[in-house]
Amino acid sequence: MNRFAVDLARLDAAELAGLAADIRAFLVDKVSSAGGHLGSNLGVVELTIALHRVFRSPRDVLLFDTGHQSYVHKLLTGREAGFDGLRRAGGMSGYPARAESVHDVVENSHASTALSYADGVARASRVRGEGARRVVAVVGDGALTGGMCWEAMNNLGASPELPVVVVLNDNGRSYAPTVGGLAAHLEGLRESTVDSSVFRNMGLAYIGPVDGHDVSALESAFQMASALGRPTVVHCVTRKGKGYLPAELDDECMHAVGALDPATGRPVGRGAQSWTSVFGAEIAAIGAERPDVVCLTAAMPGPTGLGRFASRFPDRFFDVGIAEQHAVTAAAGMAMTGLHPVVAVYSTFLTRAFDQLLMDVALHGLPVTFVLDRAGITGPDGASHHGMWDASLLPVVPGIRVGAPRDAEVLRALLREAVDFAGPSAVRYPKAAVGPAIPAVRQVGGVDVLRCAPDARVLLVGVGALAGECLSAADALAARGVPVTVVDPRWVAPLNPTLVEMAAEYRLVLAVEDTASAGSLGGRLAQALAAAGSDTCAGTCALPTAFVPHGGREQLLSGYGLDADGIAAAVLERLDLLGERVGLRPVA
């Protein structure tokens, strides 16, 4: 049943208003059950309806930046049934997905890219002789704080022949409130206190501001922009969370939600301590002790755990907007003057600033700490958000240290070691609840020994939060007559020489890590052992070097063999290949 995929052109004003109300009720019902981006989609209901009445997707190209505001677009293009499996394994993505529909052109879940896509699609259409094809980019005001938007607008402004419509969805925020001079300029445009828009000064036509919840006004503006046949900004003013009181009252918490009670908007099933909350408390404590410590984030103060630090030390907290590159190089400038910056971002977003980390921070050997939330498998946000690349990329950076804590106590310790270090460091942890404390039996040269089994010929190197699964796998293997020693390297880069020496004493060594297999700790350890002339067989249990789909974190880890059962099976398989599986006891 696709009750929302209707012929919009046939609906009158009253029917359109009823459709908008039905869509909002549907979204609250489905997202409160499955989790997802709620406030942003409630705010673009009328805007998306108007877009589909004026433009003809997929003939006309509709791009959403960021893609978390595409749920209404999905409903209007016949994907109502998909919401029953929203963000679940095998179900519908929470972002545009090319595999789902011809109406989704890009997998756009990272901000500030749609205008560049639009520029490229429009130029290609012109080269191919598809002059009647219109290109529309729906861009949140928060996304405009990212530099790529301005690089694209610089080119669009000098290309009057391109029929690109930039729909500026201005709700005053991305996740957090939009920051910087742009926010002030948009406010001036909304209140008619400025004489000219920056867009018009750059060579684009400008229409607005338009009431983003008035379908008729939106249609008129979009038709006018289309008729101009040139790059045009349509400035639409919307309210995030529109039509659902809990989301209107708390648009930050309602931006992205887990399961909640739709009647109250309150979350259900929560309570476990998260890695993010442990970091947030500890960095605030460090801030009280160290006046040289400052914190930066890229439009994510709440999700990265910096709320407490920002509240206690507002003069030492900096939200730069969706501008990871600027955040990293600004941190480098701060470090050059004697401060110790802590840059807190999602793992997937740090890769956007890899050049700045390499050439602006590491080249100068600067003391900057990177705190990477959502490292490894993040779950329902899917391929673009899994933080599975940083631990493969960062080890190539000269002088950097990369830490992966196994529990809350180790996170606190690694964070303090990082802010005491005279060069760049990164501390990475997952989007998950923190497990129980895992004490070390002893520490050898910076490596924590978590279990020491006499006569063991197998060594498991448990990286970060997967150390607990390694211990469970060791229990299962011991029950079958395979003694296993388990260690935690704490710092996975640079490669600890003590870990190499320890590994050389075993016949089989497996590093267990939630990162891409290319560039993994296990691969680097195998190289080091081979270079030392060791006959130890070393490998890794890691994620494939491929884009991993969305699904539950535990479900995905299990599917890739990164739970206790999978780890134990990998050990037994490799022992078979080595001819070492003798005297094995059957499963009880």
pLDDT of residue 588: 47
Report whether 404 contacts 429 (CB < 8 A).
yes
What whole-number distance in Å separates Cα of residue 139 and Cα of residue 152? Answer: 12
% of the chain at pLDDT higher than 90: 77
Q: How many CB atoms lie within 10 A of CB 579?
A: 7
What whole-number distance in Å separates Cα of residue 278 and Cα of residue 293? Answer: 18
CA–CA distances in Å: residue 497 to residues 463, 502, 529: 16, 9, 10
Instruction: Point out the catalytic residue in the list 324, 401, 469, 490.
Output: 324
340 marked as binding residue: no
3-state secondary structure of 136: strand
Q: What is the pTM of this model?
A: 0.93
pLDDT of residue 228: 95
What whole-number distance in Å separates Cα of residue 560 and Cα of residue 541? Answer: 9
What whole-number distance in Å separates Cα of residue 208 and Cα of residue 221? Answer: 8
CA–CA distances in Å: residue 570 to residues 101, 152, 441, 468, 474: 38, 48, 25, 16, 12
pLDDT of residue 195: 77
| Torsions phi, psi for 505 (to 5 deg) | -85, 0
Instruction: Point out the catalytic residue in the list 53, 134, 173, 240.
Output: 240
Nearest to 23 by CA among 7, 2, 9: 2
Q: Report CA 236 to chain centroid distance, whole Å.
A: 26
Catalytic (active site) residue 324: yes
pLDDT of residue 179: 72
143 marked as binding residue: yes
141 marked as binding residue: yes
What whole-number distance in Å separates Cα of residue 273 and Cα of residue 285? Answer: 17
What whole-number distance in Å separates Cα of residue 517 and Cα of residue 540? Answer: 7
| pLDDT band at residue 474 under the 50/70/90 scheme | very high
Mean pLDDT value across residues 17-42: 90
- pLDDT tens digits along 146-199: 999 999 999 999 999 999 999 999 987 655 677 788 888 988 998 887 878 999
Nearest to 114 by CA among 123, 122, 103, 106: 106
Instruction: Point out the catalytic residue in the list 30, 79, 352, 428.
Output: 352
Catalytic (active site) residue 431: no
| pLDDT band at residue 267 under the 50/70/90 scheme | confident
The β-bridge relationship of strands 135-140 and 61-65 is parallel
The per-residue pLDDT of the chain, averaged, comes to 92
110 marked as binding residue: yes
Residue 496 tokens read as 């600890």
What whole-number distance in Å separates Cα of residue 146 and Cα of residue 324? Answer: 8
Catalytic (active site) residue 270: no
Checking if the pLDDT of 585 tops 80, the result is no
531 marked as binding residue: no
More confident residue, 283 or 83: 283
- pLDDT tens digits along 374-432: 999 998 888 999 999 999 999 999 999 999 999 999 999 999 999 999 999 999 999 99
Most distant CA pair in the chain, distance: 84
| pLDDT band at residue 67 under the 50/70/90 scheme | confident
109 marked as binding residue: yes
324 marked as binding residue: yes
413 marked as binding residue: no
Checking if the pLDDT of 526 tops 70, the result is yes
Q: Which domains does the chain have, with CATH numbers?
A: 13-251 (3.40.50.970), 275-428 (3.40.50.970), 446-578 (3.40.50.920)
Checking if the pLDDT of 511 tops 80, the result is yes
Checking if the pLDDT of 329 tops 80, the result is yes
- Reading phi first (left if > 0) and then psi (alpha if -120 to 50, else beta), residue 379 is in left
